[in-house]
Amino acid sequence: MNRFIKSVGYALSGIKYCLATGKNFRIQLVVALIVIGMGIALQCTAIEWLVLLLCIGIVLSLEMMNSAIEKSCDMQQTGVHPTIKIIKDMAAGAVLLMSVVSAICGAIIFLPKLLHFFNLNF
């Protein structure tokens, strides 16, 4: 049990580091909090919450992995290296791809609710 508690502590330190140093992580966290607020205000269903929370978790996790990959690459190569650039670009692309998919999921969930809320029928 002691080993597990230490592992959780290390993981929390990683999250804390991302909060302290990761501008993109903080931006995505703010967006996540806005999405959660909208979900509460627009009374999302259980399935909608599952989709929203999975999207939030995946985007934030990918951003942390992207940051870890960048740190690791920076330790290996201080200058510009074409392979390191490809690795960093691919990691950033993974975050972007999931962010776009998450935005589409959010639109599918929230747009009908917002249109109904404002009595807009198309």
Task: Report, as residue numbers or ranges, the catalytic residues.
Answer: 63
Distances (CA, A) of 89 to 57, 103, 104: 21, 21, 22
- Residue of 111, 105, 107 lying closest to 55 (CA atoms): 105
Q: What is the amino acid identity at position 76?
A: Q
Report angle CA 112, 116, 119 to the nearest 5 degrees. Answer: 140
Between the alpha carbon of residue 91 and those of residues 18, 19, 34, 79, the distances in Å are 16, 19, 25, 18
DSSP state of 119: T
